[in-house]
C-alpha cells in the first residue's frame, strides 16, 4: 500500500471515529459506569441474600409522592420529614448515609428556621462522618444547591464539623 492510501485510510478511520463518538456520546456516557458496577458485583462483591445484605436503600420514589404527608406538600418543604428519617437511620446504626438528591430551592429564606431540623440532623450525622452528599455538575448551567441561597454550607465526610451559621 502506498503512503497516500495509508493517509486516506487513517483519515477515514479518524472521521468515522469522531462521527460515531459525536452521535453516540450521550447514549454511551453512562453505559461504561453501568458495566463497571455490573463487573464489580459479578466478580468482586460478596453475594448476600437480600435479608442479610448490609446495605439498605431508602428511596423517595413515585409511591412517596402519592402518600401523605407528601401528596400535598411541595418537595422543598420535605426537610422536616427527611430529618426524621435521617435521625432514625443514625439511631438505627447506619454506618453511612448517602444523599443523591438535589434541593435547588429552600424555604429557609421565606420561613426562617424551617430547615433547622434538617440542617441539625445533617450536622450531627456529618460530625460522626456518616454522611455523603452528592454534587451536581451540569455542563452548561450549574444547579445551585439550597446552601447557596442560605448561609449554611454542607459538611462532607472528612471536613470540619463546625456549626452552621445560626444552626448549632
Query: How does pLDDT run across 116-167, given as a tens digit for each residue?
Result: 999 999 999 999 999 888 776 666 666 665 554 444 444 444 433 444 444 4
Cα angle for residues 85, 104, 110 (degrees, 5° grid): 85
* Average pLDDT rounded to a whole number, residues 21-45: 74
Cα–Cα separations (whole angstroms), residue 146 to 76, 105, 150: 9, 5, 7
Model confidence pLDDT, tens digit, residues 76-124: 899 999 999 999 999 998 888 988 887 778 888 899 999 999 999 999 9
Grid cell in block for residue 71 = 401528596
Specify the pLDDT at position 142. Answer: 62
Say how far apart CA 168 and CA 159 lie, in whole Å.
17
Specify the pLDDT at position 160. Answer: 38
For the entire predicted model, the pTM comes to: 0.57
pLDDT band with cut points at 50, 70 and 90 for residue 40:
confident
Determine the angle formed by the axes of helices 79-91 and 116-127, rounding to 10 degrees. 30
Note the residue count of the chain: 168
Say how far apart CA 30 and CA 38 lie, in whole Å.
13
For the chain, what is the total number of helices (H) and then of strands (E)? 5, 2
Amino acid at each position: 500500500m502506498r503512503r497516500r492510501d495509508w493517509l486516506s485510510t487513517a483519515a477515514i478511520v479518524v472521521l468515522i471515529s469522531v462521527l460515531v463518538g459525536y452521535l453516540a456520546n450521550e447514549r454511551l456516557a453512562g453505559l461504561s459506569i453501568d458495566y463497571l458496577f455490573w463487573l464489580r458485583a459479578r466478580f468482586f462483591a460478596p453475594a448476600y441474600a437480600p435479608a442479610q445484605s448490609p446495605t439498605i436503600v431508602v428511596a423517595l420514589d413515585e409511591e412517596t409522592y402519592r402518600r401523605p404527608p407528601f401528596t400535598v406538600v411541595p418537595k422543598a418543604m420535605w426537610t422536616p420529614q427527611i430529618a426524621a428519617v435521617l435521625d432514625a437511620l443514625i439511631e438505627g446504626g447506619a454506618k453511612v448515609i448517602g444523599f443523591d438528591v438535589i434541593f435547588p430551592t429552600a424555604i429557609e429564606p421565606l420561613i426562617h428556621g424551617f430547615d433547622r431540623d434538617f440542617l441539625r440532623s445533617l450536622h450531627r450525622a456529618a460530625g460522626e462522618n456518616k454522611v455523603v452528599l452528592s454534587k451536581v455538575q451540569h455542563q452548561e448551567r450549574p444547579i445551585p444547591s439550597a446552601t447557596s441561597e442560605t448561609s449554611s454550607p454542607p459538611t462532607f465526610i472528612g471536613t470540619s464539623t463546625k456549626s452552621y451559621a445560626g444552626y448549632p
